[in-house]
Amino acid sequence: METLPFLPKKYKYEIIPNVQKQFNTIQTILKREDVDKIYVATDSGREGEYIYRLVENQIGVEGKIRKRVWIDSQTEEEIKRGITEAKDLEEYDSLSDSAYLRAKEDYLIGINFSRLLSILYGNKLASIIKEDRTSISVGRVMTCVLGMIVSREREIRNFKRTVYYKICGEFSKGDDSFKAEWKVNNKSKYFESTKLYNEVGFKNIEDCKQLINDLHDKKAMVQEIKKSKQKENASLLFNLAELQNTCTKLFKIKPDETLEVVQSLYEKKLVTYPRTDARVLSTAVAKVISKNLNGIAKEFEDEETKCIINKMIEEKYSTNLLKTKYVNDSKITDHYAIIPTGQGFENYNKLNELQKRIYKIIVKRFLTIFFPSAEFNKISATILVENETFHCNGKICIKQGYLELSRGQENENNDKKENNLEVLKLLKKGDILDTKNFEIRDAETSPPTRYNSGSIILAMENAGKLIEDEELREQIKGAGIGTSATRAEIMKKLERIKYISINPKTQIITPTQKGELIFNVVYNSIPDMLNPKLTASWEKGLEMVAKKEITSDEFMKKLEGYIKSKIKNIG
């Protein structure tokens, strides 16, 4: 305890043995006297910046011009552009500062709080889980994610199902009938009644029977009929979190597996940079997007994709995206969304089946944004019986638009919503209807669902939504927990140290006994480590350093102050 807090004045690095040979090769090149200019082409992002700066500092590069190559794909054209437009490395110093601070922050929080809690609670924890000894691993992001998983599990565990009862009426006009559900209104005899469970259900079945008895043989009238057309555009493009979540649903694979695949596709020139949080394109890319489309049309030997593109050509679909929701420079930081480059097809046949399937998902999502909207006819009706109201809705797809590219799920949903539409179309306000029947339907509340390895990535990205304070929630909007580059690795670590378990078939996540005990320890000692509010605000601070809104010294002063205060309060 007397060694805490541990706040070194100088941070030292050493070469990892298994990369020593590669480091020596780079060192030899950078030290050559005939090399006077260095083009830095590590990953275009904070971590890529950090990797190069570590290498450069370890080697001690001096007196050479350094240029930063910032690219979004590994096509020859993009690499040449990146070299031509390379900026002085110094222009990325604030991003480098942010990268160093992220590493220091994770190190300091991890080493201080892990040691502190291990000293205070390690032996007790070991005795409970019947281990000789155990350490408690705490991390800025990792512990917060564990908190989300344990909290969700306990919500499910403590959930008590509540059964309530709904009334459904069947009404007819001529030979046609339809069903509508009862809902309380301000003229109902049950308005604000304690007998209601919610606005559409009763606590006790006897009250349902009483209402049905009151309405028996009463005429019904169409009180209101609303008809409208609805348009629905294709979803935004993939960022890494959305792609990981989609692949977990479709293929039951972990986020790190998705990242590994899409990284491979990037290196094979087939898709753009994968570690992105953006779901839109930049204006500059949108202006030349036909290059990507033309490449797919000419080179991608996939029958389904060829049919899609042929339809786009035949129907003369516009490729001008500039005034659409898919182009927004303000929503892009380092990189735009993941899209196919339209190149790299010489590598396609070398892909394994999973790589091909994920590539095709990216292609189809990309192509949907050029298709027209899906269109629906919607009708809603309100039926009045005495002073009680019954409601029903009908919806049918009249123009598939981008849904033609879907996997059929949307069409299945639309078929369900089509119920009642034909008869509802014939109704007019004031129509008198026959009441054919009333039935009671059992309903029950549902527990929250467990996270799977894809949905937890989305939850991490959107952690701001979990914060109650509206002002802070808006302040950290877009920061989330972790980054697109690190979230999958965090989940991998939580599983490796046996704080969570991930079902290999379903990808459903549950906390282990050890994970729940760690949660309890942190909750009773440093509870704000479990709160997305703290974790996301630190991420926001790193972003402010990168944007030069605060200095590195300001950030470190706040960080060290936080660590000192927590150790003082707990120790």
CA distances from 118 to 79, 145, 392 (A): 48, 19, 59
SS3 511: strand
pLDDT band at 112 (very low <50, low <70, confident <90, very high): very high
Rg (CA), the chain: 29
Across the chain, mean pLDDT equals: 92
Percent of the chain residues past pLDDT 70, beyond the cut: 95
Q: Are 97 and 552 in contact (CB under 8 A)?
A: yes
Note the pLDDT of residue 477.
62
Query: What's the pLDDT tens digit per position in 120-159?
Result: 999 999 999 998 888 999 999 999 999 999 999 999 999 9
pTM of the model: 0.87
Q: Answer whether residue 483 shows pLDDT above 90.
A: no
Q: Are 96 and 50 in contact (CB under 8 A)?
A: yes
Please, which pLDDT band fits residue 417 given cuts at 50, 70 and 90? Answer: very low
So what's the pLDDT on residue 122?
A: 93
For 493, counting Cβ atoms within 10 Å of its Cβ (0-12 exposed, 13-18 middle, 19+ buried), the class is middle
- Whether 442 shows a pLDDT value over 50: the answer reads yes
Q: What is the pLDDT of residue 423?
A: 87
pLDDT at 418 over 90: no
At residue 196 the predicted structure's pLDDT band, cuts being 50, 70 and 90, is very high
Band (pLDDT 50/70/90 cuts) for residue 533 is confident
C-alpha dihedral (532, 537, 539, 542), degrees to nearest 10: -170
Q: Is it the case that residue 419 has pLDDT exceeding 60?
A: no
Confidence (pLDDT) at 470: 62
**pLDDT value, residue 415:** 42
3 state DSSP class of 259:
helix
- Beta-carbon count within 10 A of 570 CB: 14
376, amino acid identity: F
How many angstroms separate the Cα of 175 from the Cα of each of 381, 438, 469, 515?
A: 18, 18, 55, 61
pLDDT score, position 474: 59
Q: Alpha carbon 126 to chain centroid distance?
A: 36
Asked whether the CA dihedral 186, 190, 193, 199 is positive or negative, the reply is negative
**Residue 463 pLDDT > 80, yes or no?**
no
**Residue 187: which of 386, 383, 387, 384 has the closest Cα?**
387
What's the first-to-final CA gap in the chain, in angstroms?
Answer: 8
At 393-412, the pLDDT tens digits run: 988 899 999 999 875 444 44
Average pLDDT over residues 79-94: 96
**What value, to the nearest 5°, has the Cα angle with vertex 129 and ends 125 and 133?**
60
At 306, the amino acid letter reads K
Whether the pLDDT of residue 298 is over 80: the answer is yes
